[in-house]
Structure 1
């Protein structure tokens, strides 16, 4: 099988970029061919507003490129990760015109929310969910705090909703959790075209015994408001009784200044910035625990399963994807979203109880092994492609190292 994989890389590297790379690797590792169509969203910085708005609605260059690429490479499926804003929905039309099935992974809530996060002023917001015209998203400037950008995002979504782009041109959607499927069903996407398939971790980082952990907690992610960094900083200020416990912040983003200011006030906080993937995994594996304080739903929460793979306990917000990935007091600890005092209390409880640390470490690792291995994920991905219209029923089309008995029918 040959897959045409399409992705716009983010200005600040994040989980979506990693998942895209992982799925390309997964297919190639098991004997399938991958063709890539890629660009950088940093190009936006050099574009005028009118040109950007035009390409967000319909990018003729993308339409031409995809048709030419399909004609030259003859892929069996087109699989899209991030397409907003530069690729535009013209990509889907190009694939449809060439008769190739299209799969779209929904890594954010862009098709349900102007801002893509279902979050406004630090609180979950559903005002635009399912609306033909998301006026609230325009009024509140939900995309990048810009009236112009929010208007373009809203109009693009509304236009393609009326045109039937989301229901007619995409054969299968990949949702990362059951919670995301509920949200997008409420937003009006066809549930019969949705399949829940989680992300996975590769390479397997291996289990880090609790006795090998160092005296620090770690946050890994984009430094942005929806990630709950202000909640984390407030919680850490409540933990003054642990003068030697460091908080390591790994990532980049618009709230870098907030973290730098907190680090100046509290020497226990250290900003590492963006690190290579192997170094990031080393930081997670050696940490006493990982904190995931997001105040938005998240569509998955990749660093949670990375920590579980390492045997590193996780403390996360009790909402959205986090609540589906963690069973409280078994595979991790949950706290009320936005509640810095309760987050601090969860940290205290974990630090005071070595048996709890060991249990969360072992159960988290077992959860990873059951649900998030590469082999399991490959079978799920091929099942999505089958649903989209790719014929993979012949075992000769299958994968090196995976039994044909496990292939999706």
Structure 2
């Protein structure tokens, strides 16, 4: 069987977990003997980058092009509101993408196409696939079909934009663009319920399948080490990811405890618009260790070395990749009680949750780790065992049943 995978980004170009999931699925399908091809974007590098070309032949064949828009998705966060509004309108119409899809399908002859995030490669790709006889299965990763930015902020659920006719217009356009896939996959019940409550995917086949953990040999956690408590923040260095809240909350926590029980290290891995500010703070505070972008193998070693991973998001998360990676290693997670996160965390077993942006709630959750870190380290094997339900093999087994 020939399988096509379409994603707005694909490694080495990546912003978050969605493109990593697409890559893991593509590799696993290829290892199982399927013929796999990928369609994705590339940064603009002249007129020739607008033309679809087969650029890489690894396990899968990777086609890349730069969509016809006023800028690439990698630059959207740097643009003014009106420019972003125009960009979203062009992306929904997807000029030139119909011919790209037709060429991709003609070249590769896929029996089924799995689409992931389409914002930035052409939201109307769903419609274009459905004009052919190729089966289409779409995987949700965030709220970008209902919120243009893909971000639904905690406490802003009833803001003007979320209640206005603009949101309804955008959703109507998204419903037309994505069309009617034969099946829709959501990694969390939260995300699927959000879309169906807003009129998406009615009378369609839907599945909730949690994201797969990384298919690599993970390091075992060592014995508990004395010394400062060690935490890890790994993700985009953006305000909506809660990094500034976390820095303030940990500083407040240290101020309420007597020495030496108030010592800690916060390892920060990631990149984003706050990078310069975070690096500056790290240079002035030796409790903060900045790593920048960290590749997966090194990330897993970093996760294995800390007492807990902290996910302090202020936006509704679907199913953060870092949580799966932490569980695979056996490290507990302290995370915002938001979106699909509570579906992954069993309180007191593999982590704790707290009310987003609430410092006292965060400190209460943190106390489960700080009061006796030995208990958490003793649960490493149990956490790894619980993580087996998120194995890549099981995830792709479920996909195979859908395409049989």
Shift of the 72–219 alpha-carbon distance from structure 1 to 2, 3 Å rule, reads same
Q: How many residues align?
A: 361
1:112 aligns with 2:124: no
1:124 Cα deviation after fit: 4.5
Q: Could you tell me which residue of structure 2 aligns to residue 142 of structure 1?
A: none
Q: Is the 8 A contact 1:247 1:270 kept in 2?
A: yes
| Residue 53 of structure 1, CA deviation | 5.3
Is the CA contact 1:210–1:311 (under 8 Å) kept in the aligned structure 2? Answer: no
- Residue 135 of structure 2 is matched in structure 1 by 101
Listed one character per residue, the Cα deviations across residues 2-61 of structure 1 (whole Å, up to 9, x for unaligned) are 111111228763211211111111111211111111113676675795984564132242
CA deviations on 1:164-201 (whole Å, 9 max, x unpaired) are 444x4322211011111111111211253321111112
Gaps of 5+ in 1: 138-153, 393-409
Matched, 1:216 2:216: no
TM-score, L = length of structure 2? 0.80
Q: Deviations over 1:65-121 (max 9, x none)?
A: 1112212221011111121133231x22321222111111111101122332221xx
Match of 1:65 in 2: 100
Structure 1 counterpart SS, 2:8 = strand
> How do residues 126-165 of structure 1 correspond to structure 2 at under 5 angstroms?
134-135=165-166, 157-161=171-175, 164-165=176-177
Could you say which residue in structure 2 is the equivalent of 1:123? 155
Does the C-alpha gap of structure 1 residues 355 and 278 become closer, same or farther in structure 2, counting only changes over 3 Å?
A: closer
SS of the equivalent of 1:237 reads: helix
1:306 to 297, 322, 325: 325
Residue among 175, 187, 196 paired with 2:208? 196
* 3-state SS of paired residue (1:169): coil
* Distance (whole Å) between structure 2 residues aligned to residue 58 and residue 98 of structure 1: 18
Larger mean CA deviation between 169-178 and 323-332 belongs to 169-178
RMSD: 2.8
Q: Retained in 1: the 8 A contact 2:7–2:121?
A: no
Higher relative contact order (CA 8 A, sep 6+): 1
Q: 1:325-358, CA deviations, whole angstroms, 9 ceiling, x for partnerless residues?
A: 0011112111221122332343343133145313
Taking a change above 3 Å as real, the CA distance of residues 57 and 354 of structure 1, as seen in their structure-2 partners, is closer
Instruction: Give the superposition deviation at 1:265.
Output: 4.3
- Per the alignment, residue 297 of structure 2 pairs with 278
Contact 2:93 2:123 in 1 (8 A): yes
1:361-376 paired onto structure 2 within 5 Å: 361-369=380-388, 371-376=389-394
Q: Is the 8 A contact 1:332 1:360 kept in 2?
A: no
Q: Which has the higher helix share?
A: 1
2:16 pairs with 1:2:
no
2 CA distance for matches of 1:46 and 1:180?
28
Aligned to 1:279, the other structure's residue is in SS state helix
Q: Is the 8 A contact 1:213 1:287 kept in 2?
A: no
| 1:34-53 correspondence to structure 2 within 5 Å | 34-40=36-42, 46=71, 52=87
Q: Is contact 1:114-1:134 (8 Å) kept?
A: no
Q: Are the counterparts in 2 of residues 110 and 116 from structure 1 also a CA contact under 8 Å?
A: yes
In 1: Cα distance, 2:314 partner to 2:379 partner: 23
The change in CA–CA distance for 1:277 and 1:110 in structure 2 (over 3 A counts) is same
Would you say the 8 A contact 1:12–1:252 is kept in 2? no
Q: Structure 1 length as normaliser, TM-score?
A: 0.80
* Aligned match of 2:286: 267
Structure 2 residue corresponding to 1:16, chosen from 15, 18, 21: 18
Aligned partners of 1:25, 1:78: CA distance in 2, in Å? Answer: 15
Contact 2:142 2:191 survives alignment (8 Å): no
Query: Which of 287, 294, 318 lines up with 2:306 in the alignment?
Result: 287
Change over 3 Å in CA distance of 1:12–1:65 after alignment to 2: closer
Aligned to 2:51: none
Distance change in 2, residues 1:212/1:28 (3 Å) = farther
* Kept in 2: contact 1:4–1:78 (CA 8 A): yes
Equivalent residue, structure 2, for 1:78:
113
SS of residue in 1 equivalent to 2:137: strand
